[in-house]
Amino acid sequence: MEGKGCYNRENFRKEGVILPILEEIAVTLPRADLDLDETLDCGQCFRWERQEDGSYTGIVRGRFCRVERQGDRVLFHGVDEDDFQRVWRPYFDLDRDYGSLKAQFSCDPILAEAARFAPGIRILRQEPWEALCSFILSQNNNIKRIKGLVARLCAHFGDPVEGGFSFPTPERLAPLSPEDLAPVRCGFRAGYVLDAARRVASGQIDLDAVAAMDIDDAREVLQQIHGVGPKVAECALLYGFGRMECCPMDVWMKKCISTLFPCGLPPCSQGVEGIAQQYLFHYSRCHPVLFR
DNA sequence: CGCCAGGCTTCTA
DNA sequence: TAGAAGCATGGC
């Protein structure tokens, strides 16, 4: 991987404001190992906005970025070297070789087919709190609406940053009441979000400690939160803590497993079941007829 | 309008 | 202890 700073001046228009973009980082990465649509719009994250030119804008750890594919290169606009190393490189899981991972998955014909269908999927390493909170909001909900909930949560309670709003901290949410969250329109999930915020803000649940825990202990701790069950905990651990062995079992994956993998996921996915899951989840949703 | 959504809690038998 | 009902909201 090459990460090289240059200074192409350009302007990027967003919501009527012209933001001066002074820096960009270019990384060489084959299209087959990162597709922006497949990765940023496959239900693992809810904050990225697709632009008309196919690039995406998003905010991670309070930093705004526009990501663009250009041939074999990925351009991170508005990013300096420090932020690239600190934020975007881990976020896009750039140090993992997805090519060899997919080669490994080819030991199973169905998994191979799913990976071939959307080879540009990667698992993002999101902020732990944001992932936890987002997937609490995701329950009994559809992806389109989840995005709306998260956007309103950020707009009302996040801090204004370049390009939009940061994701609100647990400390910001903890003192609120469910009525305070009314403008978010997240329904019965308001109480769940607040319980999570209070436990994290108070230190009763230490997300840094969770990150270092044995996986079953981590699952147990997260499920102490009201409104966090097996699925949400698994999503938080996979997408927020980089625990690739975690395999969220939503309705689609349950159908997929029962019809195609009655004996469980194949051995070649051992230890990275969560990544295999993302290919299978996407494949299942795009071929609903195969899964009744 | 009715059905359903990257589920979980609570109630019931 | 397993299974169903209830949950807010809105996209389709």
pLDDT in tens, A70-108: 999 999 999 999 999 999 999 999 999 999 999 999 999
Nucleotide with the nearest C1' to A188 CA: C8
DSSP string covering A170-216: HHHHTT--TTTTGGG--TTHHHHHHHHHHHHHTTSS-HHHHHHS-HH
pLDDT at residue A184 greater than cutoff 80: yes
CATH of A128-241, one of 1.20.1250.20, 3.60.9.10, 1.10.340.30, 3.30.390.30: 1.10.340.30
Nucleotide with the nearest C1' to A46 CA: B6
pLDDT tens profile A208-256: 999 999 999 999 999 999 999 999 999 999 999 999 999 999 988 998 9
- What band does A289 get if pLDDT is binned at 50, 70 and 90? confident
Nucleotides of strand C under 7 angstroms from a protein beta carbon: 7-12
Class of domain A9-95: alpha beta
Nucleotides of strand B under 7 angstroms from a protein beta carbon: 4-9
pLDDT tens profile A129-168: 999 999 999 999 999 999 999 999 999 999 999 999 999 9
Q: How far is the CA of A250 from the C1' of C9 (A)?
A: 20
**Which residues 6+ apart lie within 8 Å of A101 measured at CB?**
A272, A275
Question: Mean pLDDT across the stretch A56-66?
Answer: 98
Q: How do the domains of chain A map onto residue ranges?
A: 9-95, 128-241
pLDDT at residue A30 greater than cutoff 60: yes
